Amino acid sequence: MNPPICGVQAGQGKYNQDTSPNSNNDLAQVRDLGFDLVRLAITWSLVEVTPGVINEEYLERIAQVVEWGKEQDIDFIIDFHTDFYSFSLNDGAGVGG
């Protein structure tokens, strides 16, 4: 399962995107409100769908969102979550001991 594709007006430049509430241009709206940093939560179980199997489409979608952010002068804090992995499952996602 991959996240939905956003309906942004990418490629139109920093100040040429509609920032009205229903415009779907979330990152342009964030910039218009004066923010330049967004926490982007990444779910590890969507990156590595099964041990050793990487979901390239999900990574491409993340890269796409980051590119859209660059267009709006927005930086990201990439925040990995391991919601479906744990040490007790012995699934390889746990780090340390």
Whole-number pLDDT of residue 33: 93
Whole-number pLDDT of residue 96: 45
Domain ranges of the chain: 35-86
Q: And the tokens for 81?
A: 């979550």
* Alpha-carbon gap, residue 36 to 53, rounded angstroms: 33
Note the pTM of the prediction, 2 decimals: 0.71
Tens of pLDDT, residues 29-76 = 999 999 999 999 998 888 888 888 999 999 998 998 999 899 899 999
Backbone angles phi, psi at 36, to 5 degrees: -135, 15
The 8-class DSSP code of residue 17 comes to S
Greater model confidence, 72 or 93: 72
| Cα four-point dihedral sign 71, 23, 6, 3 | positive
Greater model confidence, 18 or 87: 18
